[in-house]
Structure 1
């Protein structure tokens, strides 16, 4: 049966916005929250959007931040969307434009600070909004060098983080018109998005109205770069474009006039030169002691300490790093000594200790698979446990999960990003995702419904209890209770250092 479409209007402090009501929810797509960071505003902190006159028609999919192909294209699949620097926009989905004051979910997408967008069809908030009676807001922020370049006198870095902070302030200002409660916000992010949630709290950005945080595969072990390395990468980038790092005024003008294609080309060249196999960190990302992020203590510790009164749902997938290594032929060519050398170089004595332990426990596992297991543990699992421990020690409420489901026989296992179709729902956009190849659609639909219920219950009450899950206890220092989300979900202890 054909669904009717109705135009709906919301008056905000930015101006009047027109959206479309269809399938039981209202969508407003590509709503600008900041001025276009172009020309002289390129590499500058974001500026709040000047109110417009007339009505903004937010009907069509918005543009996304300029970006190169995703590193995980072979895992998640591909997407096509028009790119533009005028990308600082919101996608808003709500059950109704009324005064219901629904809980608000602000979604920060992943993509290694280099790819993705908050309004991709992958992240359509329609199911969450309709089933949970919540408002879902997807955020675009600047990526790659345009968002995270550090070059003194040209860019202070962390501009993508500042974009997110401004977006959160704007959402709080306007969301009541979309039926949302500005004093009941849940920040939800995956990978770089989850990492960004930690950075927003650690950086002391205004978090008024935020009650809860959902941090999926936040890669807290991938800490922000130190400023020395970030400046070296920035100087290389500037030189690649024919600029002089020692002449920032002149170079800033030059870079402002370059086409986006040149910026992306230089970004790719720098990434190739500095790539290190086994290292999951991108060249342009969050930087410690830079704009919007202090250098007091480790950012994840600072974040946990700053989240007093914030309910936390945090978790990982069981085989996170298989997304980076399982399909890479270089991993299959490694022998035990090469893996040990690589782990020692990238992850230090702690990583070597984990490698030795895993090798003893899994004598028949291939060296490349051992590398993946160490990275999963070092970058994702143990930092998530430590974060939950720190919250628990401070009397905070945290729930921890491990997503273990995967298609039978998949070489990718329960890899990074695999939980996303289950959180947002198995939409058509995920139809060609290699990580789901061979999966039973009924299994996906059933587990997705359970997870959506859990996530929505957490958003609404701070407790992810759901009908088809066993009792989900609060994480404590004495017993590291985690919900294993799988065909048969169960409570288990995650392996990691004691709290």
Structure 2
């Protein structure tokens, strides 16, 4: 691969097609490649190879979704002009360093967003810095969300369609990534929040054999995965009247009026969409633990969380802060953050790691802390994203890092990126690795 000018194009000749990519600032990006197609509530069908050239689109395809005021406040505003709503949202993007290196380790990014919002191609998860620093390839995957991807349970509306989308993406990557200079024998799945939840369940899905070697699971809400069947069935029934609505934006508004009650279903109702046991490609819920044990000798695991996950929601609530923002009330909120973080994220991650290790698996457990005293929300949900992806410009208005100097993010993030890349290359993290001060990590 010959070095390009600062901005230019590059052609990848793949088994899939001749793909036109963009070269800029030391990286090559092949954006928004359609890997599959689907019609509403049906399984994805892989796109067949073509002899034509594929150009990157002007706008990024995104699954129908509602804008979250909390995400806008904590992560940053969304430039709607840069996105195009696409109900069949099976797209992926490949980013690699602009050099001639081949057989590079491949990290596949599965975005989070409660299985309801998000996109594989957001500026806040642009892997350019990471790709250049560590000489790796990052593939970001978009897939169906919400009503279209993570709610189902009958013949007309199958469950787990979002998982089926991701599996098709992994098959595409396995077939084509070598043409981008990647090593198809060294693929790591990386997911945060619901993306981590999806990856944990891809480990025990049918039809994934040989598609990946390692997983990095960040802040997966595994504490919300249990006994969701009754809630999902009610939600499915309540949305039956809008399943044929042609206006997807109207669907987004309507389903929010039918969301299951937290009073009735507890914490799991805060994530009403999700994976569903007992439907393809997953096993029954009571079989999941055994399936994870069976994968222990095949897949390396790095799993963990941020120490103050639920501060993202609780400490940013104006209503809660009105009553509990000072004195003893603040202590109540702090304790609630601690308890809910452990219930939803901490204890389930520890249990997963311990069971996996007992079954003979290679597994590391991590926790990210805040070491800045005047950072009110601490190491909240999503704080791992600016650390991992960098990109100061994309994060400059994020409430999540409001009182954190960018130099602190960059200093710790560069080290974290190196540790994660080491794991993706080898499945190991050596004692000599220069780990960031904010990271606690141990092999189980």
Aligned length: 433
**Closer/same/farther in 2, CA of residues 46 and 422 from structure 1, 3 Å limit:** same
**What residue is the counterpart of 1:133 in the other structure?**
135
Measure how far apart 1:309 and its partner are.
2.8
- Deviation, 1:29, is 0.6
Shift, 1:381, TM fit: 0.5
User: What SS class does the counterpart of residue 411 from structure 2 fall into?
Assistant: helix
Q: Partner of 1:49 in structure 2?
A: 47
Q: Deviations over 1:246-294 (max 9, x none)?
A: xxxxxx7xx1x612112212222223x6355855632221111123211
Match of 1:292 in 2: 281
Match of 2:115 in 1: 113
Pick closer, same or farther for the CA change 1:209–1:51 going to 2, 3 Å: closer
Show the counterpart of 2:246.
258
CA deviations 1:75-102 (Å, max 9, x no partner) are 2223233322242100100125867111
CA distance in 2, matches of 1:135, 1:146: 29
**Is the Cα–Cα contact under 8 Å of residues 102 and 135 in structure 1 kept in the other structure?**
yes
Task: Verify the 8 A CA contact 1:97 1:179 in the aligned structure 2.
Answer: no
Deviates more, 1:139-148 or 1:126-135: 126-135
CA displacement at 1:229 relative to structure 2: 2.2
SS in 2 for 1:314: strand
1:460–1:409 CA distance, 2 compared to 1 (3 A): same
2:269 and 2:76 mapped to 1: Cα distance? Answer: 19
Q: So what's the TM-score if we normalise by structure 1?
A: 0.80
The alpha-carbon deviation at position 297 of structure 1 amounts to 2.5
Q: 1:189 aligns with which of 182, 188, 191?
A: 191
* Runs of at least 5 residues in structure 2 that lack an aligned partner in the other structure: none
Other-structure match for 1:390: 355
CA shift for structure 1 position 50 = 2.8
| Rg comparison, structure with higher value | 1
RMSD over aligned CA atoms reads: 2.7
Superposed CA offset, 1:189-222 (max 9, x none): 0110111111111223313142211111111112
Q: Corresponding residue for 2:315?
A: 326
Summarize the Cα distance change of 1:407–1:430 in structure 2 as closer, same or farther, 3 Å threshold.
farther
Q: Which residue of 2 aligns with 1:312?
A: 301
Q: CA deviation at 1:420?
A: 0.8
Give the TM-score normalised by structure 2: 0.89
Cα separation, 2, equivalents of 1:279 and 1:378: 11
For the pair 1:434 / 2:433, whether they are aligned, the reply is no
Structure 2: distance between partners of 1:300 and 1:68: 34
Query: Relative to 1, partners in 2 of residues 1:384 and 1:322: Cα closer, same or farther, differing over 3 Å?
Result: same
- In the other structure, the counterpart of 1:74 is 73
Q: Distance in 2 between matches of 1:303 and 1:220?
A: 13
Q: Name the structure 1 match of 2:152.
A: 150
Contact 1:110 1:193 in 2 (8 A): yes
Counterpart of 2:222 in structure 1 is 220
Q: How far is the alpha carbon of 1:304 from its aligned partner?
A: 4.7
1:27/1:59 contact within 8 Å kept? no
Residue 274 of structure 1 corresponds to: 261
Per the alignment, residue 171 of structure 1 pairs with 173
Q: Paired residue for 2:425, among 460, 465, 469?
A: 460
Q: Which moved more, 1:156-165 or 1:257-266?
A: 257-266
Relative CO higher for 1 or 2, CA cutoff 8 Å, sep ≥ 6? 2
2:311 and 2:347 mapped to 1: Cα distance? Answer: 17
Pick from 55, 61, 64 the counterpart of residue 62 of structure 2. Answer: 64
- Asked if the contact 1:10–1:97 (Cα under 8 Å) also holds between the matched residues in 2, the reply is no
Q: Counterparts of 1:220 and 1:305 in 2: how far apart (Å)?
A: 19
- Give 3-state SS (helix, strand or coil) of 1:157's partner: coil
Q: Name the CA distance, whole Å, in 2 between partners of 1:127 and 1:188.
A: 16
